[in-house]
Structure 1
Amino acid sequence: MPDRALSPFAMRMSLYVICIGGIILNIAVFCKRKFRTKRQSYTTRVSLQLLCFMAIADTISLASLLLVLCTQYLGIENETTMDMICKIDLFFIHSASAFSIWCWLILSAVRYVALYKPYAHLRLNKEPVLAVIFIAIMSFIFESWILYDATFVPEFRGCGEKFSEEVEKRFQIAEISWSYFLPLIIITVLDIKVLCCHSIWVTDWTLTKSFDYGINSSNNNSSKSIKRKITVDECIGIDSSPKMSLTNANFPSNAIKYSSYDDSSPTATSPPTSANTVCPLSAGSEKEKISSKISVCSFKKSPTMFSFSSFTQGGTAALKSLKNPINRQKSKKRQRQMKILRRCLCITLLDLGMNLPNYLLRLYVNLVPAEQLPDFEDFWFGMIQDISQLLYFAQFSLNAFYLVCIIYDTPKPKRSVYQQNSRPSRYY
């Protein structure tokens, strides 16, 4: 039985393939990004920026590993030069790994905010990029101890440590905790909440827009006015004689009251020309029950529609003519979003899972006393070491796969005839 599951030559060749393949994929991602950035929505561009930052860090890490693998072919014999190579390479590899995992956390946080705080998500501008810059700075600071600790060992022609065994274990455990397990726990919590979020995907936000009824007290007329959350020009302007009448049974006698307006009635009274016009009611009409009636006969400027308690026949007909295609479109959009969400979660799980064996092995080696550790030349222990290292370095190429399968493979949503004739809205 061989001493190791993979021979040194097979291990070296596998690392060569991982490094060269990952660098090529990441460079291809940067080239492809030039032709896709302008075609993506703002939310997609934010995710694309985060993933490109991760791809840059992964490319640096793979290039550092490739440099270490090529040192035996470069003929470098100077120990000082090799010592600097060990310090810089290990520093970049560990910093890039921590940076990538924390960037996955930012992506999970963006997904969480998009589902639970949609309006806050719309206001996101430079916050994700600033978070990435902060993470990069903190990664360099927390991994700076490697620049002092790493050293070249001439006897083994490899990299070693300067610190004592006890101090080295403390630094290793602290690094493993903050760079992997802490973001892993937060990512797990956020993604579980995203998966458990049902109402946001089921509720139809297109046909339901709320009104905010504010009370504007006045000593002269003591009237109530209606304050909308949207502008008047999103619907048919009042100065264009909209075919809408609005009364509410909960309003007092001195509230705003628009006269009913109907094309079929030759005696119909036109609505007032100003939203602030108040029609005083007589004392006899105060005892009459005011019926809630909304007539919406035309939607020309905006796809925004309002949900009221009752509709007249004209308004119901107009709503039915638009509801079915919009519902079908929203259903397809939700299915597409859920498909992308599942892809995102699967890729995130795969990336974190590829890091897990290496971090668990490092944690085990640093927590268990040296006399209780198995022989490093043992077949099974050596196989676990080799597989964990291959998975650890292979995950640096995963971001390119993520970009291809999640971002660039996202279908461009088709606009319906109704949306093409409508004014753009920030709510879509």
Structure 2
Amino acid sequence: MHVSSAISVYCWLTLSIMRFYAVKCPIKYRLMWKEPQMALIGVVLACATLESWILVTVKYFQHSCDDSSDKPLLATFFHLSDLILMLIIPSLARLILDMTVFISVYFSLPGNSFTKNNKSTISTLDSLELRIKRMSCVETNLELKGADLQINETFVIRSDKYAKNRNSIFFRAIIISAINLMLNMPAILQRFLVTIDYGHNQNAILDALGSHYENIAQLLYFSQFACNALYLSTTIYETMGQGSAI
């Protein structure tokens, strides 16, 4: 469960990074091919490796697992490190990236994201035309001059209609990401309170908050996985059909 939870959190962080990259470097973003797949493989391997501490501090009992009672400080250290590295840091990074995307899309002048640095050099004319068609976010005017076949790229910003559609897709993705983050917060708080209370009077703080807090936190935590389906059905599939996946 720890590994799958960490993978889920970092996959959502990867989506936030891709949205940020799509806004700041739209042309380079369109030219990505294997990078997302490699990022996913890296996330899975890294999370599985970093969560291997469970094999050291957790012992199996009949029909259950629990922390080793002879290593309370070590268990607390690993739990707190896992909480910070696998939940708190990526959640804060998602919040910062999504806020940056929101501000860039809705509070910047049109066309600010199309900078000179985004006009990447492409080796052949056919490759350029294919990428531009699939991207469908700019129009290009190519002039072939003599034997040098020099290419001049003229980028024209999309119409207001397309810009509004693009902005709505970004906004929808950010809302779903924010909902997912909020549903995770109670479980993160619960784990933090249990960790800092470990070895003293475990669950005393949670008991003070109310006996139903843990149940509510777990319900919200597992409900957040519905955001995966919501994101796929309302963002990924739609934008793939338009050639502008986020």
Q: 2:92 aligns with which of 185, 189, 199?
A: 185
Quick check: 1:159 aligned with 2:70? no
| Distance in 2 between residues matched to 1:182 and 1:102, nearest whole Å | 10
Cα–Cα, structure 1 residues 108 and 142, in superposed 2: closer, same or farther, change >3 Å?
A: same
Contact 2:183–2:224 (CA under 8 A) maintained in structure 1: yes
Counterpart position of 2:103 = 196
Counterpart position of 2:13 = 105
Quick check: 1:406 aligned with 2:242? no
Give the drift of 1:341.
0.7
Q: What count of residue pairs does the alignment treat as equivalent?
A: 212
Contact 2:80–2:195 (CA under 8 A) maintained in structure 1: yes
Give the drift of 1:149.
3.4
Give the drift of 1:144.
1.3
Structure 2 residue identity aligned to 1:336: N
Cα RMSD for the two superposed structures: 3.4
Counterpart position of 1:345 = 174
| Distance in 2 between residues matched to 1:389 and 1:205, nearest whole Å | 40
Mapping of residues 178-257 of structure 1, within 5 Å: 178-198=85-105, 202-203=110-111, 231-233=142-144
Q: Could you give the per-residue CA deviations for residues 340-360 of structure 1, whole angstroms, max 9, x where no partner exists?
A: 111111111111111111111
| Distance in 2 between residues matched to 1:140 and 1:190, nearest whole Å | 25
Q: Over alpha carbons, which structure has the higher Rg? A: 1
| Distance in 2 between residues matched to 1:106 and 1:350, nearest whole Å | 16
Identity of aligned residues (%): 27
Mapping of residues 291-302 of structure 1, within 5 Å: none
Structure 2 residue identity aligned to 1:352: L
Give the drift of 1:231.
3.7
| Distance in 1 between residues matched to 2:61 and 2:78, nearest whole Å | 20
Quick check: 1:371 aligned with 2:209? no
Contact 2:58–2:67 (CA under 8 A) maintained in structure 1: yes
| Distance in 2 between residues matched to 1:356 and 1:134, nearest whole Å | 25
Query: Greater share of helix residues, 1 or 2?
Result: 2
Give the drift of 1:204.
8.6
Cα–Cα, structure 1 residues 131 and 408, in superposed 2: closer, same or farther, change >3 Å?
A: closer
Give the drift of 1:410.
4.8
Q: Could you give the per-residue CA deviations for residues 90-122 of structure 1, whole angstroms, max 9, x where no partner exists?
A: xxx111111111111111111111111123213
Cα–Cα, structure 1 residues 337 and 121, in superposed 2: closer, same or farther, change >3 Å?
A: same
SS at match of 1:144: helix
| Distance in 2 between residues matched to 1:205 and 1:132, nearest whole Å | 26
Quick check: 1:126 aligned with 2:37? no
Structure 1 residue identity aligned to 2:210: F
The TM-score, its normalising length taken from structure 1, stands at: 0.44
| Distance in 1 between residues matched to 2:99 and 2:113, nearest whole Å | 23
| Distance in 1 between residues matched to 2:210 and 2:60, nearest whole Å | 25
SS at match of 1:181: helix
SS at match of 2:204: coil
Give the drift of 1:332.
1.0
Structure 2: gaps spanning 5 or more residues? 115-139
